[in-house]
Each structure stands twice: as structure tokens, then as C-alpha cells.
Structure 1
Amino acid sequence: MTVTPVDPASNGPATLDRITGVRLSSVTLPLDTPISDAKVFTGRQRPMTEVAMLFAEISTESGYEGVGFSYSKRAGGRGQFAHAHEIAPVLVGEDPSDIAKIWDQLVWAGASVGRSGLAVQAIAAFDIALWDLKAKRAGLPLAKLLGAHRDSVRCYNTSGGFLQAPIEEVKEKSAAALESGIGGIKLKVGHPDSATDIARVGAVREHLGDGVPLMVDANQQWDRAAAQRMCRAFEEFGLVWIEEPLDAYDSEGHAALAQTFDTPIATGEMLASVAEHADLIRHGGADIVQPDAPRIGGITQFLKVMSLADQRDLQIAPHFAMEIHIHLAAAYQREPWVEHFEWLNPLFNEHLEISGGRMHLSARPGLGVTISDQARAWTVETAEVTG
């Protein structure tokens, strides 16, 4: 008896649609003011003046279109675009609903450059676009497709608390953010003079009052001894968390801080794969995990990190890209926080509603955003891939 092998990658009768084309856009988003955190004050980076965005628009035979994006700060935008352009032909002809399969195909198409960092950040734009498309096909907001636990999430603002801003400006912007409906305030710390950090946090705490949720972020700039001292000093301020007190890959050091102090330790935004998050969680290195969907390869990978965090009863607080993360946070069992940045607002025609300390889901299907004319005007390179 002769058995004819079946190609496991073939599309069968259940296939309802096929991808016909992919449009890639590299967009340079300028910032109104150069931004400095601790990495600038320690000489490791220059002030940030722009964000490189990678947009992917995926079209299908049935007329559906999904929009996704990734990003890079200071460097890497051209690399993301180039890698995405090289592997984009993999998508053409595939069933857009087979998202996990397509993710594997994309990562193997560029296997020689690895499964983390820039390689998966390029894939993220495609993956997010496919999830957007899938939710649009269902006529549902992405959160509802995933299975939402809530229709709004707690949100905090970071953009007013950077280190280049004088403390009076930080106090003014923090109060204005709360007035606009934001639920919490995050301040940058990690100044070379630790007394400056303590004074700035103390001034904002006094200005806003004890009842306002307040977080701080050291952007990986302390060594273990300094982190111990600063975590101890910050205990009096009743912070929601202390973020990235150590190098992002120092899971053991973060675990020691989490076990020693009452204030929760948050980290994870700089990790660039599920495997790196698994290592952090396995070591107990975070009370609050901060994955970033564009940085770890998209929504498919983010859902894996959510599952790992859930198994350990951990909280999550996704980093940046609120247009994506509101949906993922709404689908997490434990009440999360989502980071509010108004920086990306000019890129989209639609904006999220903020009120009562919360960010609210809209009824729009998919991610609920479309690319603005301003984003098109800031486009520096495009590429189209078709069958």
C-alpha cells in the first residue's frame, strides 16, 4: 500500500481567505522636546528626539485589511524595515487566520539572525496586523476577540516625568495629567546624584498627596548596592512600584530586591523574547512584569508571556504602545496598569478615551485605529509585496 504524504503547510477547505499583499512603511515620528532619562545622565545614550515606526498593512482576497506596527528608539528603525521587507513574501498566499503558523514561518525565514531583538520586532508589525485583521473579520474589538475581563484599564502617565524637566514643570504636568483623567504618575529616577532623585520624588508626592498612585523608573542605571540603598530610601513614599532598578538581564538581582522590600519591583520592557521573560519569571525577578508586544514579536508572543505571568499570580503592566496594550491588558485576569503616552497620537485618526483614572476600550473592531495623513507625511520609505 502506497501512502501519499500530506503537506502540513497546505491550505485546506477550511481556508476562507488568503493574503494578497503587504505594504510596509517606515515613519519617523518627531518629538516636540528632546527626552532624557537616566541613560542620558549617565552618558550611555543621547537625548531622544524621534521614534522610528514600522507599519505593516496586510490585505486579503476578501477585502479585509489589518494594520500593525513596531517601533525603535534612537537606532534600529532602518534595520527593522529592511528585515521586514526581506521576509514579507512569506505572508503572500497564506490564510491570515493561521497566525501562529505564519509567525513560525517568518521567524524561520530569518533564522540566521536569531529569535529575539530586531528580528522579532520586525515580525511584530506583521503579527499585530494579522490579529487586527482577525478581530475585524469577527467584527469585534481585539480585546473581545481574546476574551476581555474588563472594558477599561487603569492607566498612568510617564511623558511628564523625564529627568530633563525642572521639578516645577514635573509637578505641573503631573497635576494636569491627573486632571485630564489619568490614574497614576510615573517619574524617571537614576540621576547621578541620588539626593536629587529623592528630593524630586518627595516633592511630587507632597504636591499630589498620598492617595495618588506614584511609580518610579530607574531605566537600569543602578548597580546592586545602589539599588538596595535607593529602594530602601523610596519605601517611605508608598510607591506602586520601582521599575528597572538594575540591568534588564539581572534576574537574580531583581529577585533579591523583590524579596527584600515592600515596594513591588517591575521590569521586563527591554526583554526581546518570550524566553527572556521566562527566565525573569522563573527567577522571581519581578512582582510586576512589563512586556512590550512590539519588542517581543507581537501579540502571539505577548499572550505566551501573559500565560507565564498568570501561572505565577503576577501582575502585568505593558510598556508603551497603548493602542495595542489596552486590548491585551483588558484580557488579563488580574487588574493591570497600561502606560499612557500621547506621543503616538499624531499617527492615528482615532484616540483612546481617558477618564476616571482609566483607559477605555472603544467599540471599533480590531485595534480600533487607522493610520493618519500626518503619519503618511512623515513616511521616509515604503515597500509593497504582492503575489
Structure 2
Amino acid sequence: MYAPDTITEVTLSTAALPLATPISDAKVFTGRQKPMTEVIFLFAEIKSAQGYEGLGFSYSKRAGGPAQYAHAKEVAEVLIGKDPNDIAKNYVSLLWAGASVGRSGVATQALAALDIALYDMKAKRAQLPLAKFLGAHRDSVRTYNTSGGFLNASLEEVKAAASRSIADGIGGIKIKVGLPDTAEDIRRVTAVREHIGDVPLMVDANQQWDRATALRMGRAFDDLNLMWIEEPLDAYDADGHARLTTALDTPIATGEMLSSVAEHKNLITKRACDIIQPDAPRVGGITNFMQLLTLAHEAELDLAPHFAMEIHVHLAACYPREPWVEHFDWLDPLFNERLETEDGRMLVPERPGLGFSLSEQARAWTTDSVTIRR
């Protein structure tokens, strides 16, 4: 017989992960953003009366980290005394606790860390990896590397990083485009295609093209056998993405910047992509992400979640269609465990829950922390 458990403690902390090299994508070259020098994380650690623990995280690049932390601190107390197994019910309670700031953006990103921690705890209770707990279709997923393909790197550096990734068992390479000089974009992509041969290749414009440029560049890339063109247009231009999806042979991927189920549903309804790229920490956690998987599968879309491979390897493994997961090594210092790649695929961890624990380095990078107890 099931004995109800209760949440007794929630610890929230924020940490700044420094990047070894300032990172630039197209948004830097168009003057809209500065190079990225760090990633801010929100960690949630939840404990229950029966001795179970869960770890979840959200993140922010360039701005928003302090806001996520502040919102989480305001609403997390509603979890105290609740049954941690009632994840959907608890999520609704968190939403209503912060309803005045809406159900997207910072509000849902703050809740994501708590939601993911509850799933981590529940899978650990069942002594199952999260993917197995949710219902996996596979024990590994295709993976591609992004961290070696930024625009601050020279073409020779990008090619060398691609070679290292392939040697490490990663199955695809994504590089950034969207430079003001479109001829340079074409030169770099063509050179990388020649360098890696038939290895899957993707490009990412980070929303920096207008509709005419996106169509012209898409047609230029159609002969390079790309897996997809990512975020060719503004993230909220669903109509423009839909036109590109129809006009180009190369698949269109987008969705990473959206922070609600409703925003993704608009993409799906308008057939604005071939490959949808939700981000669990951005859309509010696993509760919302799993809703998106159902909608995407019904629309026969492919899946390639954005960033946070430590979470997405589990969620992608639950998608009926063969997905891709983005490989970033940036987060490695935060955790004691590592994901493994082999023959172009990322292996789903066999450890219970997410299968990750915070490292001493993550603790050292923590800038503030608060514990809420009964």
C-alpha cells in the first residue's frame, strides 16, 4: 500500500558558470548582444520526509538569472508539506502562486528547476533512470555537437573541433551562421561540409536573417545536404518559418526560445518547422515538455531539444520518432557524472533519476542560496 510522502525542504541556489572563452553567435555580429562569458544556473534540491531527494536546474544566458532565482524563492514555499509524487498538482500550485507574472518567460523558467527536481525524486523512488520511468523508446539517442562551432572561432578551429567531436563518438556537427557577410557564411559551411564528408551537418542562424535573406541562404544551402537550418528567422515569426518550410528542401528547425506550451502549439499548428526544439528548463520543466512531445508526435515532427543534454537525453529517449540531442561540454564542471557517447549516439544513463549530482565546483561557484523548511 502506498504511504503518502511529504516535501520537508527545498533548497534553491544560483551559480555562475564561467566560460573559458567568450562565445559569439550571429546576435553578437549584428550588434544585438555582447559575447557570452558565463551561464547562470538555478538549482533546486528537494527533500522528503521518507528520505528521498531530487535535483533540478534551470539556466539563463546573458540575462535573467537573478530574476529566475527571485521568483523561485517567492513561490517554492507552496511545496512544503505537499506529496512530492503529485507532480502535476504541485506544478499547478506553483503556477498559481506566481500567476501575476504569467505562465511563460522567467515565471516558467523558475518553476522548471522545481518541476525537474520532483521528477528526479520520483524516478529515484522507483529506482529507475528518468527515461525508463517516463517510458523510453530507446537506450541511446543521436547526438550532435554545437560548442565547437561558434562564430568567434576561426574556420580552422571549427574544423579541428569537428574532428575531435567525431573522434569522441558524436554523430553530427552544428555550426553557427548569420554573419553580416553572407558569402562568408557560405564559405564556412561549404568548407566544413568538405572537411567532415557525409557526417550530418546542421547550421544555426540564431534568428538573425530577415525573410528574404533566409530564403536566399536556404536555397544556397540546399545542395549541401544539411540536416536542418535552425532559427533562420525571429523565434516568433511562425508565418515566416512556415513559408520557409514549404519553400526549401532543407528542413527547418526552431522552438528553443519559446517558453510555453501555447507558443509551441502555434508553431505546430502553422506547420512552421520540420524539427521542433523545445527546451525543458525554458518551457517550465518536464510537465510541460511531455505535453509538447505529444503535440509534436501527433504532427509527425522530428525532435531536437535545445541545450541541457543532462535532462534532454532522458526526454528525447521517450519520443517515438528518432530524435537528436545537442551535445555541449560546458556543463561538465557542474556535475560529478558524465554522459557517454558512442558510435554517434549519446547513451541514456542507467543511474536512477537524472543520474547527476552537483560537484564541489558547482558549490564553489554558488553566489547565493536559501533553504525553505516546514
Q: Determine the structure 2 residue equivalent to 1:6.
A: none
Q: Displacement, 1:198?
A: 0.1
* Amino acid corresponding to residue 144 of structure 1 in structure 2: K
Q: Displacement, 1:14?
A: 5.5
> Matches of 1:362 and 1:292 in 2, distance apart?
19
Q: Determine the structure 2 residue equivalent to 1:251.
A: 238
Q: Determine the structure 1 residue equivalent to 2:219.
A: 232
> Matches of 1:158 and 1:240 in 2, distance apart?
14
> Matches of 1:156 and 1:207 in 2, distance apart?
16
Q: Determine the structure 2 residue equivalent to 1:16.
A: 4
Q: Deviations over 1:168-191 (max 9, x none)?
A: 110111111101110000000000
Q: Displacement, 1:53?
A: 0.3
Query: Is 1:201 paired with 2:189?
Result: yes
Structure 1 counterpart SS, 2:186: helix
Structure 1 counterpart SS, 2:20: strand
Q: Displacement, 1:236?
A: 1.0
Structure 2 counterpart SS, 1:82: helix
Q: Give runs of aligned pairs for residues 316-335 of structure 1, distance below 5 A.
A: 316-335=303-322
Q: 1:15–1:95: 8 Å Cα contact kept in structure 2?
A: no
> Matches of 1:14 and 1:64 in 2, distance apart?
15
Q: Determine the structure 2 residue equivalent to 1:41.
A: 29
Q: Determine the structure 1 residue equivalent to 2:290.
A: 303
> Matches of 1:212 and 1:68 in 2, distance apart?
33
Q: Displacement, 1:250?
A: 0.5
Q: Determine the structure 2 residue equivalent to 1:288.
A: 275
Q: Determine the structure 1 residue equivalent to 2:229.
A: 242
Q: Displacement, 1:362?
A: 1.9
Structure 1 counterpart SS, 2:294: helix
> Matches of 1:154 and 1:102 in 2, distance apart?
33
Structure 2 counterpart SS, 1:359: strand
Q: Displacement, 1:16?
A: 1.8
> Matches of 2:153 and 2:309 in 1, distance apart?
23
- Pairing partner for 2:168 from 163, 180, 188: 180
> Matches of 1:320 and 1:171 in 2, distance apart?
21
* Amino acid corresponding to residue 83 of structure 1 in structure 2: H
Q: Determine the structure 2 residue equivalent to 1:222.
A: 209
* Amino acid corresponding to residue 340 of structure 1 in structure 2: H
> Matches of 1:281 and 1:39 in 2, distance apart?
25
Q: Deviations over 1:327-355 (max 9, x none)?
A: 00000000000000000000000000111
Q: Determine the structure 2 residue equivalent to 1:77.
A: 65
Q: 1:266–1:287: 8 Å Cα contact kept in structure 2?
A: yes
Aligned-residue CA RMSD (Å): 0.8
Unaligned runs of 5+ in 2: none
Q: 1:215–1:241: 8 Å Cα contact kept in structure 2?
A: yes
Query: Is 1:349 paired with 2:333?
Result: no
> Matches of 2:312 and 2:349 in 1, distance apart?
13
> Matches of 1:34 and 1:347 in 2, distance apart?
19
Q: Determine the structure 2 residue equivalent to 1:171.
A: 159
> Matches of 2:193 and 2:11 in 1, distance apart?
47
Q: Displacement, 1:361?
A: 1.2
Q: Displacement, 1:15?
A: 5.3
Identity fraction in percent: 67
Q: 1:135–1:365: 8 Å Cα contact kept in structure 2?
A: yes
Structure 1 counterpart SS, 2:313: helix
Q: Determine the structure 1 residue equivalent to 2:50.
A: 62
> Matches of 1:69 and 1:128 in 2, distance apart?
7
Query: Is 1:274 paired with 2:240?
Result: no
Structure 2 counterpart SS, 1:125: helix
Q: Deviations over 1:30-58 (max 9, x none)?
A: 00000000000000000000000000000
> Matches of 1:163 and 1:191 in 2, distance apart?
8
> Matches of 1:131 and 1:334 in 2, distance apart?
23
Unaligned runs of 5+ in 1: 1-12
Structure 2 counterpart SS, 1:170: helix
Structure 1 counterpart SS, 2:37: strand
Structure 2 counterpart SS, 1:339: strand
Structure 2 counterpart SS, 1:294: helix
Query: Is 1:373 paired with 2:364?
Result: no
Q: Deviations over 1:187-229 (max 9, x none)?
A: 00000000000000000011111x1100000000000000010
Q: Determine the structure 2 residue equivalent to 1:137.
A: 125
Structure 1 counterpart SS, 2:297: helix
Q: Determine the structure 2 residue equivalent to 1:192.
A: 180
> Matches of 1:310 and 1:165 in 2, distance apart?
36
Q: Deviations over 1:91-129 (max 9, x none)?
A: 000000100011111011000100000000000000000
